[in-house]
Amino acid sequence: MTTQTQGAPASTAVPSAINREFIAILDFGSQYSELIARRIRETQVYSEVLPYRTSADQLRQLQPKGIILSGGPSSVYADGAPHCDPELWNLGIPVLGVCYGMQLMVQQLGGQVEAADRGEYGKAALFVDDPTDLLTNVEDGTTMWMSHGDSCTALPSGFEVLAHTDNTPCAAIADHDKKLYGVQFHPEVVHSLGGTALIRNFVYHICQAQPTWTTEAFVEESVREVRARVGDKRVLLALSGGVDSSTLAFLLHKAIGDRLTCMFIDQGFMRKGEPERLVKLFQEEFHIAVEYVNARERFISAIAGVTDPEKKRKIVGHEFIRVFEEESKRLGPFDYLAQGTLYPDVIESADSNIDPKTGERVAVKIKSHHNVGGLPEDLQFKLVEPLRKLFKDEVRKVGRSLGLPEEIVQRQPFPGPGLSIRILGEVTAERLNILRDADLIVRQEINRAGIYNDIWQAFAVLLPVRSVGVMGDKRTYAYPVVLRLVKSEDGMTADWARVPYELLETISNRIVNEVEGVNRVVYDITSKPPGTIEWE
């Protein structure tokens, strides 16, 4: 996505509505399927994830410039393993199979896939045998990310090996005449150093796609789609003050003007000073009316005694919707509820893998997000989610193009349930006050060090245990606070931030000395995976 319009306008509508060049991704249940889509979009070419059972006839009608088969948790030779329409290979459209996708290509075209004597997981050096076409400008010996227990032991007729690793003889393959390609590694993840070059080769040189996916084009078409769907009805927006809901507010205001009502529900789980700052910013500087609802006591009472994180999320989500419904009767009527749901929200809130009986994709459930995990079955609104197919970096670009200030554009992600899920165990007024004060210190020092924009998220977590300490020659028995500072590109994978020890020391000293009830500060050095960014 760029800030200059190139070619036809882009859209996040379903592929059948796209009358422009795009790359189709058939999803076989990989956690990285949407990450592939993100990488394609970084080349300024639109991409969309489709169910793996999308038929060859449907693909022919959609006319994608290329097709990518994602990875997946299954073995292609296992009973019930997901398979694509075998007619796909006869469409004359370039295909790139990734990991499971490559193995499926090999099996369906007459090759052999078997359990490997030795699995390959993590970083591996890729040795390039054919430095042309798919592997143009991919450095010999570059690092690629492997994650497979099966390997291709015999290639179909017409295929040749493009690259290998020490453990995988067929790490990249191709049938150049039919433009069919396969890679055993994951070029889409950041650990694959040559992955970007490979993806660009496939998109530009092999598929001959043009860069028409732009920020202005997205805004233009989204405005048209919102107007067409909403008509003369009114829309209620759940405004949180983050980049997602704020960008959505600007987009909807551009589309329908005063028929948008922004409602900020103060559930008592926001960071220190944020509710007041948010309302003032929107009303006085943006001239977008915001209805402020103080529901702090209601939310805290609703989760009193609740310790399970999923229950917390669902209760908070449920109460949000109920408040919207109640307040809409006073302010409405409203027909639509707008949400700033993004692609990663949808990914991590799905329930299970591909169902071999129905062919529907449902990725392994990690946790429920507020935007998509707590909606009741008797929801009284129709949902409007124009950002649902965007990644965080794309939302930031859209926000900038709409005039959103950097203060909000660069705001770090903040969970819908707020501080309630950064307090492990029961949430109480005392614990909320402790965490607010500690969190403020973290943000202040990160900003003072000039690294706020270099870190994906920086926050504090309060643990529901106490430890012994000594302060002023007296024994203390107080809470520990966990510092969580991570770097990431999209939140799907993350690594802990290697910040200076002096910064950690300053944060620790301030929290212990300034926040009553805390006597210990620890630093979380867990990556994602295996951990998640949030603790709940």
Active site residues: 99, 186, 188
- Are 142 and 125 in contact, with CB atoms under 8 Å apart? yes
Q: What is the 3-state secondary structure (H, E, C) of 283-352?
A: HHHCCCCEEEEECHHHHHHHCCCCCCHHHHHHHHHHHHHHHHHHHHHHHCCCCEEECCCCHHHHHHCCCC
User: CA-to-CA distance for 37 and 418, rounded, in angstroms?
Assistant: 29
For 339-360, letters b (16+ CB in 10 Å) and e give bbbbbbbbbbbbeebbeeeeee
- Are 11 and 387 in contact, with CB atoms under 8 Å apart? no
Residue found by looking up tokens 């009973």 in the block:
79
CA distances from 347 to 27, 307, 389, 456 (A): 12, 25, 11, 19
- Are 278 and 239 in contact, with CB atoms under 8 Å apart? yes
User: CA-to-CA distance for 477 and 470, rounded, in angstroms?
Assistant: 9
Q: Please, what sign has the CA dihedral across residues 432, 345, 75, 130?
A: negative
Tokens of 307: 């310790």
- Are 192 and 346 in contact, with CB atoms under 8 Å apart? no
SS3 assignment, position 445: helix
Q: How far does Cα 27 stand from its chain's mean position?
A: 16
Q: Please, what sign has the CA dihedral across residues 132, 135, 138, 142?
A: negative
List, in order, residues 6 or more apart from 410 with CB less than 8 Å away.
Answer: 243, 396, 452, 453
- Residue 326 has a CB neighbour count (10 Å cut-off) of 11
Q: How far does Cα 377 stand from its chain's mean position?
A: 25
SS3 assignment, position 191: coil
Q: DSSP characters for 219-279?
A: HHHHHHHHHHHHTT--EEEE--SSHHHHHHHHHHHHHHGGGEEEEEEE-S-SPTTHHHHHH
User: CA-to-CA distance for 493 and 473, rounded, in angstroms?
Assistant: 44
SS3 assignment, position 20: coil
